[in-house]
Amino acid sequence: AENLQEIPHGSVYYADAKEEILGECETVWKQMKECQSKLKFLETETVPKSSAKFSLSIMCMKVLTAEYNQWQKRSPEMFSTNPDILLSLGKKELQKVKDDLDSVLSAVQSKNKNLEEDLKREQQWYEEQKQLIDTLSRTQEEAKKQVEQVSNKRAFNEQKKKILQLKIYKKKLLTALGEFLEEHFPSPEKGGSAEKKNSQEEPVVQLKPLQDILEILVDKSVSTPHEPYVPIDDSFWPPYLELLLRHGIAQRHPENPDRIRLEAFHE
């Protein structure tokens, strides 16, 4: 009836199509009634009580096998050969397929839209995390530089403090050494033991005190360690030279006895 409504009433095929469909319906109805009568006949058959369940299972298996074979042999039959009916049915099926595809397309588009929104959120989150990591990296580098600068400055100050302490200690040592030498090893002129032409005359050469001799030897060893020897002249008082050589403070040149150097205590 629905298919017939799609065919215009004024069409010449309307009456024939209606009669054809009604006839086919009557044929199908008769086949259904025959099948029902066959099923009722099978249900009325008696089954021995001893093997009722087994026989019933065998019967069901045979019925299902026969129905399966019928469906395997059966080929698709056209409901009607009327071209207007087939066209109407085809349009209806195509419209149904179109509606289904439109529904699927709408669902896919909605899902894609949701995925795009999720992707935008994920990209925004990724950019924020990337900026945060860059900021933290720069902060870490700046903090590292500041720590290095503070550490270097602290080390420099500590080194400067140590150098200052060493200078103070050196000055104290030199002062104490000078006082010790001045007290126990005075200048030869002060001791009155320098050589003179007579008792009324000054010495021909001014003799160096022991402190000056030691300073000359130390300065020579530091300034020219590759050539630490100092030539001996008349200003070196022989008793002081003998004192330095005898106690291992100075040593003569192995080839030139008129040259001496400070003993290399650091080696």
Is the pLDDT at 22 greater than 90, yes or no? no
Neighbours of 214 (CB within 10 A): 20
What is the rounded distance in angstroms from the CA atom of residue 220 to the CA atom of residue 229? 7
The residue among 191 and 206 whose pLDDT is bigger is: 206
Q: Report the range of poorest mean pLDDT among 33-47, 55-69, 137-151.
A: 33-47
The residue among 32 and 42 whose pLDDT is bigger is: 32
Domain map (residue ranges) of the chain: 207-266
Q: Report the range of poorest mean pLDDT among 31-45, 175-189, 218-232.
A: 31-45
Evaluate whether 88 touches 3 at the Cβ level (below 8 Å). Answer: yes
Neighbours of 12 (CB within 10 A): 8
Smallest Cα–Cα separation from 256: which of 228, 224, 231, 219?
231
Please state, rounded to an integer, the average pLDDT across all residues of the chain: 79
What is the rounded distance in angstroms from the CA atom of residue 11 to the CA atom of residue 18? 12
Collapsed DSSP state (helix, strand, coil) of residue 48 = coil
Smallest Cα–Cα separation from 236: which of 222, 221, 254, 250?
250
Strands (E) across the chain are located at: 230-231, 250-252, 259-262
Q: What is the pLDDT of residues 88-123, one digit of tens each?
A: 878 888 998 999 999 999 999 999 999 999 999 999
Neighbours of 229 (CB within 10 A): 18
Contacts of 162 (CB under 8 A, 6+ apart): none
The pTM of the full predicted model, rounded to 2 decimals, is 0.39
The predicted structure's pLDDT at residue 197: 45
The residue among 81 and 162 whose pLDDT is bigger is: 162
- Partner residues linked to 262 by β-bridges: 250
Mean of pLDDT values over 23-31: 80
